[in-house]
Structure 1
Amino acid sequence: MSRFRDILDEQERAEAAAYQSDESILAMMRQDFSDAELVEAQITRHERELVRLFRMRDLTALSAWHIPIRTCGFIHAAKHTRSQVAYFHNHDCYELILAMHGTCIQRFLDPDSTLTLSQGDACLNAPGTVHAIEPIDSDQIILKIMIAPSVFDQTFAPILRETERSESFSGHAPCIRVFRHCSDLTAGLARMLTVETSDRPAHWRNTASAYCSLIAVELARNAAGECTTFSALAHSLERYVRSDPAHADLAGFARMLGYSEDYAGRLVRESTGRTFRDLTGTLRMEIAASRLLDTDDTVASIARAVGYDNRSGFHKRFLSVYGLTPSEYRSMFRM
């Protein structure tokens, strides 16, 4: 579709121009960020030069002091341009990312967490997802469709609820639904949506909403055996606890992410449906069970290794999870 290509070229030129001066960057921020005033205040306080900051290829250039929140009031489709730097940002909306040509790599606050979309793949990021998309080459086409929660609830949500694991999107939990090997029709609908939201002819809002529903249908039809749910936060939490189960706590996990304890705890609940304490307790028992089978360590030393100074408390928790005492578990399952 020639118009689609023209729009992508226009977006490339506009984005490149936006990075040429502080004034144009501020204008872009005020349009794209719901917390633009806070971002500006942080920049002023830290005496950051906007142009230099946004040209950095360092993934932590912005997240070291504040994570901007991208916003969308309805539906917006745009290419991930070559000019755009890889900075961490949050969302107050949903974001559908399609790797239409080439590969898309997303990074998360945990440096060991990445999500790679190959050509033909897509992912749907829920509000609250903090990520950065790596820079692309000139021949890559990564399309980003931002959808306001109210529009998502009317278009995507009714369809995704009927598919497996749709409960992941029952709220605004920061999880990611990944669709592999999407159909050509999905890409075609995305191209038409891009043209519609860019040109805005008569009744474009109705048409754009309809395209969103059709894309959701096509993704749902394609989802059988091709859809997974990815949570960078859950992955980070498991790595954090396993690295030092005896001392893992919410304060340390929050520091690792750069969040407050209250915010980190809320993100864990929203992402997993469980509290930090409950999840870490389960992980500690999994670690203990593995050590009971794989080592000759005493039960008391294993209890201490997973954070229990009181052996009776460890026994009680292990029994509640596995229905056996630690000694019984070792005797029954160790080969």
Structure 2
Amino acid sequence: MRDGLFALTDAEKFYKQLYENGDRKLLKKPMTYAEYEQLSENRRKYYHRIEHYHETVTTNTPGNTIKEFDADGDQVEVVLHGRYGYPIMHNHAYIELVYVYSGACTHFIEDQKLLMKKGDLCILAPEAMHALAVEDEDTVVINIMMSRHLFDSSFLKILKGGRMTSDFLENILYRKKVSPYLIFPTGEDSWIQELALRIYKERKEKDYLYNESVTLYVKQIFIQLIRKYEMMAIISDPLDNSQESNIMALMGYLSVNYNHVTLKQAAQFFGYNENYLGKILMRYTGKTFSNLISELQMENAKKLLEETNMSITEISVEVGCYDSSHFTRKFKKAYGVTPNNYRKEMQERTTYK
């Protein structure tokens, strides 16, 4: 361990001893709070904080484990996850990042069991029930908690895939239409490792303006995720809990090629047959290929109407609608106004600002 920074605490040493003397089986599956209450008093000796919050904050239901955390501000809370501790299912009102700095751990999320390895970074949705089991003293898992406001402004709103990608991820994390988590496999990325280490050190040492410093480091992690790993996000299949590693790449591909790509071309690019690709899109987005393409066409047409002097005919061609009258009907159906009138409205708003 780096300079003893991640040395076992007294509590971890205590639970390691229990683990080696028969408690190993208790870390193999998630534990409800009711099951935790059945443990001997000796096994519960280091869990007074959890008991306090469970009884006084959550009114004996799953809830926040950090009472003082401001779920709406820019505060960032950092915790080193305890090794050999019991995987007690719980949830939070805020966004949580779970980063495996070294080793491997088991992450129980809702009804799923995931093996996370070094470099895996999991973004967990608010209110998602989860628990971690860390069964190795050389494994280091860093938990980073933040408000939805900070996460939205630092990550969702600057995704390279644009509006469709950010909307898709919002549906996952906030509306749970697919699954309550994303996993980015960053592997041996030394920059993210270094940022995670700096975040933990800042939180541990609590020097002047440490929260501001931690917030900046978190934003740098998000920038690195977007630069290198945005299209590699792993998302659970909403029907059978298997993990789909191509869905983000597929959404990004459609965002870039929406103005000319066909279902057949997209299927060939990803090595799928057309029916299977259509089913994947419907399963993850609730929309057909045609619906998604139409939404992208209209969204980009709006942007061109707002930001350029291109003619309606030029815009219709640019977004893949080669008949301007068809484009006009399509735009009006989507937004209740013709492209020309939409542009006039935007220009008037700008004039009177």
Counterpart AA for 1:78: V
Shift of 1:230: 2.7
Classify 1:169/1:92 alpha carbon distance in 2 versus 1 (closer, same or farther; 3 Å): farther
Q: Which residue of 2 aligns with 1:268?
A: none
1:129 CA displacement: 1.3
Inter-CA distance 148–224: structure 2 relative to 1 (3 Å threshold):
closer
Q: Which whole-Å CA distance do the structure 1 matches of 2:161 and 2:152 have between them?
A: 13
TM-score, length of structure 2 as denominator length = 0.50
1:106 aligns to 2:107 (yes or no): yes
Q: Which deviations, in whole Å up to 9, do the C-alpha atoms of 1:93-138 show, x marking residues without a partner?
A: 111111222222212343xx22222222211111121112123211
Match in the other structure for 1:37: 56
Between the aligned partners of 1:14 and 1:159, the Cα distance in structure 2 is 41
Residues 187 and 229 of structure 1: CA distance in aligned 2, closer, same or farther (over 3 Å): same
C-alpha distance in 2 between matches for 1:121 and 1:217: 16
Equivalent position SS for 2:191: helix
Mapped partners of 2:234, 2:213: distance in 1? 29
Alpha-carbon spacing, 1:17–1:136, altered in 2? closer, same or farther (3 Å): closer
Determine which of 172, 175, 182 is the counterpart of 2:174: 172
Given that 1:181 and 1:226 are in contact with CA atoms closer than 8 Å, whether structure 2 keeps it comes out as no
**Residue identity opposite 1:132 in structure 2:** A
How far apart are the structure 2 equivalents of 1:199 and 1:157? 30
Tell me the distance in 1 between the aligned counterparts of 2:203 and 2:108.
28
Amino acid corresponding to residue 183 of structure 2 in structure 1: V
Distance 1:83 1:94, change over 3 A: same
Counterpart of 2:131, as a letter, is A
**Residue identity matched to 1:203:** L
Equivalent residue, structure 1, for 2:64: 69
1:157-306 superposed matches below 5 A = 157-160=156-159, 162=161, 165-170=165-170, 172-174=174-176, 175-182=180-187, 183-230=189-236, 235=240
Quick check: 1:128–1:172 contact (8 Å CA) kept in 2? no
How far is 1:29 from its partner? 4.4
Distance 1:209 1:36 in 2: 31
Q: Which amino acid aligns with 1:101?
A: S
When structure 1 is superposed on structure 2, of 202-211 and 126-135 the one drifting more is 126-135
Query: 1:89–1:131: 8 Å Cα contact kept in structure 2?
Result: yes
Structure 2, unaligned stretches of length 5 or more? 16-40, 242-282, 288-353
Asked if the contact 1:69–1:92 (Cα under 8 Å) also holds between the matched residues in 2, the reply is yes
Report whether the alignment pairs 1:13 with 2:14. no
SS at match of 2:229: coil
Q: CA deviation at 1:216?
A: 0.4
Q: TM-score, normalised by structure 1?
A: 0.52
Alpha-carbon shift at residue 198 of structure 1 (Å)? 1.9
Supply the AA of the counterpart residue of 2:210.
W
Provide closer, same or farther for how the CA distance between residues 114 and 25 of structure 1 changes in structure 2, counting only shifts above 3 A.
closer
Q: Percent identity?
A: 19
How far did residue 172 of structure 1 move? Answer: 2.5
Change (3 A) 1:20 1:145: farther
Note the C-alpha offset of 1:36: 4.1
Summarize the Cα distance change of 1:161–1:68 in structure 2 as closer, same or farther, 3 Å threshold. Answer: farther
